[in-house]
Amino acid sequence: MRHAVPLFLSTLLPLAPTLPAQDGGSTFGHARTRELAELGRLPTPLDVAVADVVNYHRHRLPLPRGDDEVFVQLRYGNEMVVPGGQVILQFGYTTAPADDRADLPPLNLALVIDRSGSMNADGKLDRVQQGLRTFVGRLRAKDRVALISYSDDVTVDRESRDVADGRWLLAAIDALQAGGATNLHAGLMAGLRQVQSHARTGGSNRVLLLTDGIANRGTTDPEAILAATSPFTQEDIDLSTIGVGQDLDTRLLDRLARGGRGLFHFVADARDIDKVFAREHAALTTPVARNVVLTIDLPRELHLEQIFGHTCERLAGDEDRGERLRLKLPNLNRDVTAVVMLTCRADSDLAAGQRPRVRANLQFATALTGQPRYFGVDEAFDVVTSPQAGLRDPEVRKNFTIATLAQGMHEMAVLAQDRRWTQADEALQQALRFAREQFRSDDEPDVAGVRATAEDYARVLRRYVDRFRDF
């Protein structure tokens, strides 16, 4: 029997200046949740994007060997498991660093920038222009770029051309002025047409859409906007989105990026500007893999409890194996380290001395040639009667703690949305208690950042609990 089951998780990590952050990955979940916590506002379930938070920081994982595109690894929280006990699994994967820019693929890009009147507020346009200048400084002379801006109408400020010395592009960026409404659809379509006209086989063809609001001129229906982009993204034009400020159609921006195989970023303040454009540059110029699928084969002795941050298709195994899990992962760029965390429950009738094995493989098409690739791994765990307690692998312990905190925040957001304040508080407090048991101090900065955000939300939530206690 074949059936698809969504298993949701959320993770979130506020920015700490000393943390080694990831390049080439989506930043929305991290930046959005951090900003809302600092503003004293509760998040929606969509705001708490768990996978973004878990994979915000750089993981301590081996890099690919030789000419391999990726390295894959399977680790247990504790390789010794008692019958009926919980098994914590971490599937990690990395891509090679992007140190040498000489062999990177050619770039064909359209920058589509919101210049509606609201971009004047809080210096948003100034911050965006600053980030774009940094971004242009990373481009090569032979990279091709168009600049489009939109408000009530759309303007092709600069037709697509080679960057050369970049002065023409910097001058056009500096000349942007805000005013008017938000005709997002018209701007996006103009950018897609510019990229389509100059598509580069074997290169990176992408539109980068930036907005601070909700479409309110021209075509405004999100489904119509999504449908209009489909013919372009099906022709291997990628689409990434950047949201700036408070009033966003986050669901639309997220769906546009996912449908266009791109990244979804959120700029909360000046701290995010450079990091967002650094990540997008890595995604544009260093693609590694498309159509990435992770398959995990569990032994018959293990039963899935939860996967953090991903939708999972659950398939029946063969007569010798247990359940098969299939996850679609984001496209991969160079310089990425990422993990997928999951928990399982062992059978209570396992016998000491058994060594069940978990197998996993990562399949994808190479970004430049489309050739299929496959990397597999399998690891056993020992069934014992009295193992040493706790998470013995320090890296798994850290990542599982972050995932647990994120899951607690996500569950809190779901319950708070339904105004079940007491239950929301308990879900969050339970995650915080687990984090304090695992890390009693703030010596681990990655965990400390996530815990600080969760504690901020706990203080906000307490006001609702106290206010509606008697209702």
Q: Which helix (H) or strand (E) holds 338?
A: strand 337-346
Residue for token pair 């940094």: 134
pTM of the predicted model as reported, rounded to 2 decimal places: 0.81
Q: Which of 17-21, 218-222, 260-264 has the lowest mean pLDDT?
A: 17-21
| Best CA proximity match to 330, nearest among 291, 283, 303 | 291
Q: Report the sign of the C-alpha dihedral through residues 102, 103, 107, 113, in that order.
A: negative
Burial of residue 264 (number of CB atoms within 10 Å: 0-12, 13-18, 19+)? buried
SS3 390: coil
What is the Cα–Cα distance from 34 to 324, expressed in whole angstroms?
35
Burial of residue 392 (number of CB atoms within 10 Å: 0-12, 13-18, 19+)? middle
**What are the C-alpha distances in Å from 328 to residues 6, 294, 363?**
12, 6, 10
Domains and CATH numbers, the chain: 2-8+53-98+288-383 (2.60.40.1510), 107-285 (3.40.50.410)
Q: Summarize pLDDT for 77-111 with one digit per residue, the tens.
A: 999 999 999 999 999 999 987 665 556 677 899 99
Q: Which of 37-41, 220-224, 227-231, 245-249 has the lowest mean pLDDT?
A: 245-249
Q: Summarize pLDDT for 345-398 with one digit per residue, the tens.
A: 999 999 999 999 999 999 999 877 789 999 999 999 999 988 777 899 999 999
Q: How many CA atoms lie within 13 A of 259 on its CB side?
A: 17
| Best CA proximity match to 229, nearest among 262, 260, 197 | 260
CB 278 within 8 A of CB 24: no
Q: What is the pLDDT of residue 4?
A: 34
Q: Summarize pLDDT for 173-226 with one digit per residue, the tens.
A: 999 999 999 999 999 999 999 999 998 776 788 899 999 888 899 998 888 998
What is the Cα–Cα distance from 85 to 300, expressed in whole angstroms?
15
